[in-house]
């Protein structure tokens, strides 16, 4: 039972059921929480825009994530093996993330124009740090005795990296990737607030201006669905490559 | 003293970065609307420090209040869930579903529910802090193995005894990690919410200055926000060291 509830699909089904039954039963005002059929009707009435927005936002999220994960991994690996670089640069990286990146949104749009690329850059910027930090942690957590053993057998630095450090870092890096994809989605959504015309973020902004509570919920569910799908996809890929560990 | 030495490389990197930035701006003659130099930004901060200062106070207040409310509710819920597993099973679907939705998607809803004042920001900050602290604390409270629990039971400890003497201390590192992740999230959530609708605050200044094509003020506001988040983060790290002195 608990297992079922912990799986996102089971959890969503339970929640939808509770929503469907409780909202009419308790007479919750629609401004606070519309009933589930009302939300489904609203979603159905705008489905072409919703689908287009979903796909665009997903594209921005995925591209930003891939870029951020790639560079984050590279930077993490460099930091893990060059201590002075980490001491000088990592605090800068951390500081860069405490900046409400979102505040840059407007400036990023000025730099790159009102294009897909501007949103990808914001998503990239948010993904970057968690992956970097996870890669550093993961690579540094490698057991020194095993490293010595491999050294004793005459392995090259590259072999030690690929055959030992990387596999032992993989579970930690996976955690970083999961945080990264969630942040990437936030970046894509907020990036669309600065003058985009298609996307879930744009629709979210419009529904706020017109105070369409049902539409806001449609979009919350759509964003949640995308978040769960992308995280699930990463978990599945992870399980394929990190078969020796559950999760 | 040790602390000073440990942040020295980072300070050096920041100074080098600022000097390089200024030199590049003057050398290439980059216009202000693309990227102003640090001196121009400092100048703009000097001009509008009164407005920036009063907005910063509001933003920090909202972020801290949201952080406290979210963290306290999260810790309370986590303890409740450990004491009464039935509550955990019943509320897990909500937590799992909420967790997959990016917090920014709830911003329009918070503004519709709580209006443009400080409560919508506190609400959204509390929500974004709450989930991460809750999941971390819950995981932490469950770390002690059953042998340790049995040992305490055999000495006559009740549920609360086990909680107070074993589970809470064991949960401290995870809880602190949750808080550390939560604080920047609450700042970002507040600024994002302010951008979409507020009377004052750093986010609102950024939004208005963007609309007025006053990019120097945008940069000044970003700078103020960065410094404030760094200070908050530093304070939190210092508190962490006191709370989890044994690690």
pLDDT tens digit at each of 247 positions of chain B: 566 666 677 677 778 888 888 888 888 888 877 788 888 888 888 888 888 889 999 999 999 999 999 999 999 999 898 888 888 887 877 887 788 888 888 988 888 888 888 899 999 999 989 988 998 888 888 877 778 878 878 887 777 778 787 888 888 888 888 888 888 888 888 988 888 888 888 888 888 888 887 888 888 888 888 888 878 877 877 777 777 666 5
Taking the domains of chain A in order of start, what are their residue ranges? 49-241
**Is the CB of A224 less than 8 angstroms away from the CB of B187?**
no
The angle that helices B215-243 and B49-83 make with each other, rounded to 10 degrees, is 40
Q: How far is CA A204 from the centre of its chain?
A: 18
Handedness of CA B47, B122, B112, B95 (dihedral sign): positive
How much is the pTM?
Answer: 0.84
Quote the minimal CA–CA distance from A151 to chain B in Å.
31
Nearest to A12 among B97, B111, B233 (CB): B97
On the question of pLDDT at A246 being above 60, the answer is: no
pLDDT band at A5 (very low <50, low <70, confident <90, very high): low
Average pLDDT over residues A74-102: 76
Residue B142 CB coordination number (10 Å): 15
Search chain B and give the residue with CA nearest A217.
Answer: B109
Query: Which of these ranges, A79-93, A112-126, B114-128, has the smallest mean pLDDT?
Result: A79-93
Q: Has residue B167 been placed in a domain?
A: yes
Tell me, what's the pLDDT at A100? 64
Nearest to B10 among A15, A31, A92 (CB): A92
Give the total number of structural domains in chain B: 1
A49-241 has which CATH code?
A: 1.10.3720.10
Residue A236 CB coordination number (10 Å): 9
**Is the CB of A12 less than 8 angstroms away from the CB of B93?**
yes
On the question of pLDDT at A115 being above 60, the answer is: yes
Nearest to A204 among B92, B105, B188 (CB): B105
Q: Has residue B179 been placed in a domain?
A: yes
Residues whose CB is less than 8 angstroms from the CB of residue A103 and which lie 6 or more positions away in sequence, other chains included = B191, B195, B202, B203, B206, B218, B221, B222, B225
On the question of pLDDT at A97 being above 80, the answer is: no
Quote the minimal CA–CA distance from A98 to chain B in Å.
6
Closest to A57 (Cα-Cα) out of A226, A215, A218, A228:
A226
Q: Has residue B123 been placed in a domain?
A: yes
**Is the CB of A223 less than 8 angstroms away from the CB of B92?**
no
Which residue range is the domain that position B181 belongs to?
52-243
Q: Has residue B6 been placed in a domain?
A: no
**Is the CB of A100 less than 8 angstroms away from the CB of B109?**
no
Q: Has residue B125 been placed in a domain?
A: yes
Q: Has residue B124 been placed in a domain?
A: yes
Comparing A44 with B210, the larger pLDDT belongs to A44
Q: Has residue B129 been placed in a domain?
A: yes
Q: Is the ipTM here above 0.85?
A: no
Q: Is B229 on the interface with A (CB under 8 A)?
A: yes
CATH of the domain at B205: 1.10.3720.10
Q: How far is CA B34 from CA A87, B41, B42, in A?
A: 30, 13, 16
């Amino acid at each position: 039972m608990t297992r079922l509830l912990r799986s996102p699909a089971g959890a969503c089904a339970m929640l939808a059921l509770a929503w469907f039954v409780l909202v009419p039963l308790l007479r919750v005002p629609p401004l606070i929480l519309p009933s589930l059929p009302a939300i489904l009707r609203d979603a159905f009435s705008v489905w072409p825009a919703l689908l287009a927005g979903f796909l665009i936002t997903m594209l921005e999220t995925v591209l930003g994530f891939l870029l951020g994960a790639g560079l984050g991994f590279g930077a993490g690996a460099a930091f893990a093996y060059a201590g002075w670089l980490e001491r000088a640069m990592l605090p800068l990286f951390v500081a860069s993330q405490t900046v409400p990146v979102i505040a840059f949104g407007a400036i990023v749009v000025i730099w790159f124009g009102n294009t897909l690329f501007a949103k990808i850059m914001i998503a990239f910027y948010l993904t970057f740090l968690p992956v970097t930090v996870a890669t550093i942690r993961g690579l540094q957590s490698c057991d020194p005795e095993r490293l010595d053993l491999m050294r004793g057998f005459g392995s090259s630095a590259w072999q030690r990296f690929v055959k030992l450090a990387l596999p032992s870092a993989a579970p930690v890096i996976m955690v970083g990737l999961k945080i990264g994809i969630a942040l990437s989605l936030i970046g894509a959504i907020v990036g669309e607030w600065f003058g985009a015309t298609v996307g879930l973020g744009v629709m979210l902004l419009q529904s706020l201006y017109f105070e369409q509570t049902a539409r806001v919920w449609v979009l919350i569910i759509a964003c949640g669905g995308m978040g769960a799908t992308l995280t699930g996809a990463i978990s599945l890929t992870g399980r394929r490559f990190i078969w020796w560990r559950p999760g | 003293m040790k602390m000073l030495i440990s942040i020295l490389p980072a300070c050096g990197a920041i100074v080098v970065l600022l000097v390089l930035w200024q030199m590049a701006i003057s050398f290439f003659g980059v216009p202000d609307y693309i990227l102003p130099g640090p001196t121009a930004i400092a100048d703009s901060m000097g001009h509008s420090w009164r407005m920036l200062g009063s907005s910063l106070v509001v933003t920090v207040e909202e972020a801290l209040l949201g952080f406290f409310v979210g963290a306290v509710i999260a810790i309370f819920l986590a303890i409740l869930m450990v004491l009464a597993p039935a509550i955990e099973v019943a509320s897990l679907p909500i937590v799992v579903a909420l967790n997959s939705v990016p917090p920014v998607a709830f911003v329009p809803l918070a503004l519709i529910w709580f209006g443009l004042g400080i409560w919508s920001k506190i609400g959204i900050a509390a929500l974004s802090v709450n989930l991460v602290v809750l999941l971390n604390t819950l995981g932490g409270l469950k770390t002690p193995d059953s042998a340790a629990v049995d040992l305490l039971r055999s000495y006559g400890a009740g549920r609360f005894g086990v909680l107070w003497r074993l589970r809470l201390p064991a949960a401290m590192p995870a809880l602190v990690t949750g808080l550390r992740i939560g604080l920047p999230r609450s700042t970002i959530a507040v600024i994002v919410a302010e951008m979409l609708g507020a009377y004052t605050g750093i986010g609102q200044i950024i939004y208005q200055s963007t609309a007025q094509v006053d990019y120097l003020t945008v940069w000044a506001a970003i700078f103020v926000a960065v410094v404030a988040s760094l200070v908050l983060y530093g304070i939190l790290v210092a508190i962490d060291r006191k709370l989890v002195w044994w690690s």
